[in-house]
Amino acid sequence: MRCAVPAIWVALTVSQAIRLSAQDFASRVYPVLEKAQCRACHNDNGVASATRVQFPGEGASNEEIARFGLRLRAVVHAGQPEASLLFLKPTNRVTHAGGERIRKGSEEEKILRAWVEHLAALPEAAAAERQTHTGKSRMVLRRLTHSQYNHTVRDLLGEETRPADQFPKEDFIHGFTNQADGQPVSPLLAEAYARAAERLARAAFRGGDTRKLAPCVVEAAGCHTEFIRAFGKRAFRRPLDKIEVARYEALFRQEKDFLSGAQVVVETMLQSPHFLFHLATGAHGAASRLSYFLWDTMPDEALFRAAERGELNTPAGVEKQVSRMLQDSRAQDALDEFLAQWMRFDRLRNAIRDRRLFPEFTAELVAAMTEETRRLFRSLVWEDRDFREFFTARYAYLSPELAKLYGVPAPQEPWGRVEFGADSERAGVLGQATFLALTSKPAETSPTERGLFVREHFLCQVVPPPPAGVNTTLPPVTDEKPATTRERLQIHLSNQACSGCHSLVDTIGFGFEKFDAVGRYREKQLVTIFPTYDETATKRKTKPTEYKLDIEAAGDVLGLKDSTFRSPRQLGEILARDPGCQKCVVKLLFRWANGRPEEPDDQQLIDAALERYRESGFKFRELVVATAVSRTNRDSAGLSPR
C-alpha cells in the first residue's frame, strides 16, 4: 500500500532544499545518522544486516563516508523522494524495528530530507559509485591465549600442569578470547608469565636430566649452541638469527654448568615476546598460524618441514597439511575450545541458582550440560554430518541426570543417544540445558538474555547498548500482583526509550518461556514469593507463597521473514534455513582463525568459504578447510600496523 505523503514534505520545494555535496554528507548528514545510532544496527553484524543500508566501520575516512552517502541512493525513490525509505524508516513513518530514531519536525529531519532530495536528483550512474578495496587482508599482533599457552608448554616441555589456568582471567571480545583487540599484557599477566617461566624451566630439568631437551651430549664442544638453536626454533616457532644465538650464548656462559645455563635460557625464552606472541613471519609464520588454528598449539616437525619446502604457499599444499592435521586428536581439542568459547561454557560454570528453587543445580549437572553440547558438536563435525543439525537435532546424548531433568527415559549407557518424541519441543542446541541455563538468572529465566544470545551468537548481530540513564528495574512480584516474567517485561516494550532494543531481543526470548532457569520443561510458571522482614508491617508473612501462572510462549525474530515460533524446535528450524545464520557460522570460524573480526576486505574470503560450506552439504570440516586455505591464513607478508 502506498504511504501517504507527509504534509511537512509538501511544504518544502526542491528550490528551498539545502543542497549538499558528497563531501558535505560527512560533515552534516552523517553526524545526524550517528546520533540516531543507525550504524549500530546497519552493519554486516548488526540486527539490520540483511537490509540494503550498510554503514562504513568505525573510524572510516571522510572519503569512505562520502561514498557511503552516495550509495544511499539505493533506498531513495527518484520520482517520489517523499516516499523514500531513507526518510520514512528513521522517522518511523514506515514501521521501523528501531522505532523513531530521528524526531519528526526536528532540524535533523530537515537535514536528512535535504539529502534525500539531493540523491533523488542525481543520475543513477553517479549514485552507483562504489569504493573498491584492493589492499591485503589485515594481520594483527596476537599473543598466546591461556589455552594456547598450556598446550604449547605441553608440547614444548612435556608440561601437563596447565599453568595458565592460574593466570588473570581473559576478556571475551567479538565472541572469543583470542581476539587481538582484547589481548593486552597487564602487569599482573607479565608477573604471571615470569613466575610460570621460572617454575617451568626448573621442572624441565628436574633431577638434573637434560636428555629431554638437549639434542646432543652435554659434555661435547658446542652442545650449548646446538641446544640454543634447537630449543629456540621450537619455542619461537622459527629459526633464531645469529644475533639472537650470540645473545643466548652469552647468557648461557654466565652460569656455572650446562644444567644451570640451559635452565636460564629456557626461563628467558619463555618470557620473550617471540614465545608469547605470534611474531613469526614467512613460511614459519604460515605454519604457526595454521597450527594454532587447527591444534591450538605449536607446529610439529612435519608442518615446519612443509613450510620450509614451500608447500604452504599453495592452496593444494595447505589442504594436504590440513587433511593430515585434522586426523590428529589435537584438532578435536582445538575445536572443542572453539565450541566452549562460542557457547560461553564459562558463564554456565560460574552461574549460580537459588538453591531453594533449583536444588538439583550442582557442579556435576553443569558439567553434564556442557558435555551434552560437546557430544552433539563432535558427532556433527567428526562424522561429517549436516551441521545445521546443531539447531534441529531431534535427539541428544544424555547422562542419567540430564535425562531426568528433561523428563525422558535414561539411555542404556551414559551418554547414549536418546531420541525425542514427536511432540517434544526440544531440538538442537536451543533445546539444551546449556543454552537455557546460561541465559537465565539465579531465580528465573531471562527472555532478554536468551534473545540477545540468539542475536549475537547465532546471527552474528550486534544489538545496540541501552541509552545512558535508562532505568532497567522491573516491577516487583508481590502477593497482590503476581505476574509472569513476560508480563513484567512488557515495561520494556511499552517504554519508548527501551522498546527499540528490547523488541529485538525480548520477543525472541519469550518463545523459550516453557523452559525454566535450569532448562526443565514447564507448562506453568511457578512464581514463589518468599517472606521478607518488615518491622512496620502489622501482619508478617512467615511462609513462601506459590502461584502457578499461565505461560504465553510465542516468539518472533524481528527482521527474519516467517519467524514466529513457539518452541526451541521451531526456532531451530528457522535458524537452520536462514542464510544469515549459515553465514554467521562462517564468520565465527573466521574470527577464531584470524584473531580479529571480519572487515570489508575479507568479504570475498568469507563468501568463498560459505559457498564451499554450502556445496559440501554444510559439513563443518569442509568449512575448516576452506578457512585454512583462505588468503588470510596463507599470506606470509607479516604484520601490518594496528
Identity at 488, one-letter amino acid code: R
- Residue 482: burial class (beta carbons within 10 Å; 0-12, 13-18, 19+): middle
What DSSP line would sit under 85-107, residue for residue?
HHHHTTTTSS--TT---S-TTSH
- Residue 301: burial class (beta carbons within 10 Å; 0-12, 13-18, 19+): exposed
E strand map for 399-544: 416-419, 524-529
398: β partners: 416
pLDDT given at position 73:
83
pLDDT given at position 336:
97
Return the C-alpha cell found at 341.
568459547
pLDDT given at position 297:
98
pLDDT given at position 304:
95
DSSP assignment, residue 527?
E
pLDDT given at position 444:
93
Asked if 627 and 633 count as a contact pair (C-beta separation under 8 A), the reply is yes
How far apart are the two ends of the chain, measured CA to CA in Å?
49
pLDDT given at position 504:
87
Return the C-alpha cell found at 219.
659434555
Identity at 80, one-letter amino acid code: Q
Taking the C-alpha atoms of residue 301 and residue 532, their distance in angstroms, rounded to an integer, is: 66
pLDDT given at position 243:
94
Identity at 107, one-letter amino acid code: E
Residue ranges of the alpha helices (H) in 140-208?
Answer: 146-157, 187-204
Q: Write out residues in the chain with pLDDT < 70, as ranges.
A: 1-23, 122-139, 467-473, 492-500, 533-541, 631-642
Asked if 551 and 513 count as a contact pair (C-beta separation under 8 A), the reply is yes
pLDDT given at position 633:
52
pLDDT digits over 421-461, tens only?
999 999 999 999 999 999 999 999 999 999 999 999 999 99
553: β partners: none
Return the C-alpha cell found at 38.
543507525
pLDDT digits over 92-116, tens only?
888 887 788 898 989 888 888 888 8
pLDDT given at position 128:
46
pLDDT given at position 543:
84
What does the radius of gyration of the chain's CA atoms come to, in whole angstroms? Answer: 29
Asked if 159 and 199 count as a contact pair (C-beta separation under 8 A), the reply is no
